[in-house]
Chain A
């Protein structure tokens, strides 16, 4: 595949609201690679929360807004595995009975990529010239790993970061217990899951845990903050943008 000269950024709602630095880091990485970034205004949500809760008509309303906004974009990149899995796998099925929307959904699905997947599989870029001096472990988010089959890409990117020591945690591929509304509706189960995840992270000896989905990262960080543990929790883009000042403000 040829290198695209520009990408359109989809910033999922959680990144936008809680960790805008992660999206800024994505912009930094692309600009360093000489790729222009577009950001269509008016972005909100792909519809996943409603879809997972079973509210399909509400999910369709969100998805229509998303599809309208990104209808004419050639390449869409998002720093989230679960939102891309939603756009790629579920949004087309939501419009099974609406041919016009279904076509648009399928076209959009084929053009939407997760950030690390796009870097490694499409651009063939692994060494981004980043540096980050810390021992780092990686959490496989479920929808990035099992929804998009992205497992090696983020690890390869991390291993090329200068000063970064990569360590695997036990059960990196095990769910952290986020699950969207699940984390609020079934707090006992969710808490049991994240407690184990935190223990595995600690056992790895890492100083920072990195992942590609903000839902998981906020869940993990929430548990760490409650226990007042000093580990850092970062979106992988924040690590890959390390070593030069990220756009628009102080670094991660």
Chain B
């Protein structure tokens, strides 16, 4: 598993907020892709309701995962491929490392893959002397910079053109230029050599189809096709949930994936791969391996509250509309997955207790649900996670919230179910607030902890001298007299 830093959400989000370059980049991204995706859904020939159809397709697939994965594996094996079911990230990584050792792999080229990011594949391969080269341009940039992706689809969104120019001049030895076509050309030249020399190609899987026995990859740079056809070995990694039953269902999910990810009707390169090169074929690897990764996913499958999360295809449309992601950036989420999908899936995969700020640090604005290509109710699951954190949950290893917070809510519940007491407290508050420092129009400048967070940047409204309840009573008395 790659490093988990979910405990640092608050500090890291502060760092993201303080970065005006990041803010401009994310604001541009959200304006283009966020609005664009909504429009792309509206323009679907079947109408935006296709997202609900897709949701039903995914739910059905998740309910039949065992059968679908068995069918997929049988087809791939019949075609001469190998399939390995990995219970943990470590198992998945060591399976791949084993192939690399057996084949004496020195250089591996990689297509963009979130699941390999999740299980920390690169560092393990590197430790045994394999040079792993990311070939997606964005991933290549952050690999050269020694950073981690900050967006699922646009991993280098946090880097400026000038930073990339600097980086390429240093690492690729090219003359300094900020011209994007020249920079892209430089990356292409460097990567082409790697593609031709690689002993292993590694990819993720956007979606598999059980009926046909294919995995499928989507890219706009053609790099995944090169990485999966040129080297003699191809190892593909998929989360165990990335499958649908039939080809017609695959087509619907694929179209929504491309709209959600990049506002396209279809990605530039869509590959369907069902095994290694067959006799008489000119392209393709000698060996093909599919690694099906569980790594905590079956715990989601077992819990009806969170099973819906397995419908996710990681298109990242939710990142492109999330107001919180748009301010704090992807690194704040402390793991491979960022934005609303990260806020739900990361705690479930890496620990709810340590990821509690991810579960609570959202506004529940609901924009992610509307943007989701699979119509997943992310806010519902954030609420479920918060309920687990409050009440405790043995399955997820969470102890009930104790102490002050719990007592505050208990007292609150008592007050709101005893109107007499509630009203007296309201009146007392209206008097006591006179002690607090005031700003313009009687608004309060500073509140004591635990409410001081509000007045960090805002004034707090004063309680009305008379709440509506007493104004209403007065009004009724006056009407009665009149």
Contact = CB atoms under 8 A, between A and B. Distances in A.
A59 B409 CA distance: 9
Interface stretch (B77-85, B100-108, B175-183, B463-471): B463-471
Given A20-B464, A65-B416, A222-B458, A189 B389 contact: no
Given A65-B417, A225-B443, A174 B323 contact: yes
B interface: dominant SS: helix
B471 A54 contact: no
A147 interface: yes
A247 B471 CA distance: 9
Interface string A139-181: 0001100110000000000000000000000000111011100
Contact of B457 (A142, A146, A191): A191
Given A185-B453, A195-B457, A248-B474, A177 B363 contact: yes
Contacts of A20: 464, 466-468, 471
B459 A44 contact: no
Interface string A174-198: 1101110011111111111111100
A226 interface: yes
A179 B365 contact: yes
B343 to A, nearest CB: 12
Interface string B352-372: 000001001111111101100
Given A17-B426, A179-B364, A44 B327 contact: no
A183 B441 contact: no
A18 B442 CA distance: 12
B42 interface: no
Nearest to A85: B366
A222 B360 contact: no
Contacts of B369: 146
Contacts of A42: 419
A176 to B, nearest CB: 9
A143 B386 CA distance: 18
Give the interface residue-count category, chain B.
35 or more
A182 B361 contact: yes
A44 B419 contact: yes
Contacts of A56: 387, 390-391
B461 interface: yes
Q: Which of A50, A175, A194 has the most CB of B within 10 A?
A: A175
B458 A53 contact: no
Interface string A209-252: 00000000011011101101000000000000000000111000
Interface in B299-313: none
B363 A226 contact: no
B434 interface: no
A63 B456 CA distance: 32
Q: Which of B324, B365, B451, B458 has the most CB of A within 10 A?
A: B458
B338 to A, nearest CB: 14
B324 A222 contact: no
A58 B400 CA distance: 14
A75 to B, nearest CB: 18
A57 B366 CA distance: 24
Contacts of B269: none
Interface string B427-455: 00100000000011101010000110110
Interface stretch (B9-17, B43-51, B164-172): B9-17
B365 A146 contact: yes
A248 B475 contact: yes
Given A58-B413, A193-B323, A248 B361 contact: no
Contacts of B458: 191, 194, 219, 222-223, 225-226
A137 B410 CA distance: 39
A106 B468 CA distance: 27
Nearest to B385: A54
A19 B14 CA distance: 32
A13 B463 CA distance: 11
Interface in A52-85: 52-59, 61-62, 64-65
Contacts of B429: 17
B461 A62 contact: no
Given A147-B366, A221-B461, A52 B416 contact: no
B289 to A, nearest CB: 42
Contacts of B365: 142, 146, 175, 179
B480 to A, nearest CB: 14
A62 B414 CA distance: 8
Given A17-B426, A20-B467, A222-B443, A55 B363 contact: no
Contacts of B419: 41-44
Q: Which of A44, A58, A61, A188 has the most CB of B within 10 A?
A: A188
B410 A58 contact: yes
B471 A17 contact: no
A146 to B, nearest CB: 4
A193 B366 contact: no
B330 to A, nearest CB: 14
B461 A222 contact: yes
A19 to B, nearest CB: 7
Contact of A17 (B413, B441, B451, B464): B464
Given A54-B391, A187-B453, A222-B460, A61 B467 contact: no
A91 interface: no
Interface string A112-134: 00000000000000000000000
B364 A52 contact: yes
Interface in A37-53: 39, 41-45, 47, 49-53
Contacts of A193: 323-324, 327, 363
A184 B459 CA distance: 12
Contacts of A29: none
B22 to A, nearest CB: 11
A136 interface: no
12 contacts: A17-B429, A41-B469, A44-B419, A55-B409, A62-B417, A182-B361, A183-B453, A189-B17, A189-B361, A191-B457, A193-B323, A226-B457
Q: Which 10 A-B pairs have the closest CB atoms?
A: A54-B386, A222-B458, A179-B363, A187-B453, A54-B390, A20-B468, A175-B365, A146-B366, A191-B457, A58-B413
Given A52-B364, A146-B370, A221-B443, 13 more contacts: A20-B467, A24-B468, A44-B415, A44-B416, A54-B386, A57-B391, A62-B416, A142-B367, A185-B360, A186-B13, A187-B456, A193-B327, A226-B439
Interface of A: 11, 13, 15-20, 23-24, 39, 41-45, 47, 49-59, 61-62, 64-65, 142-143, 146-147, 173-175, 177-179, 182-196, 218-219, 221-223, 225-226, 228, 247-249
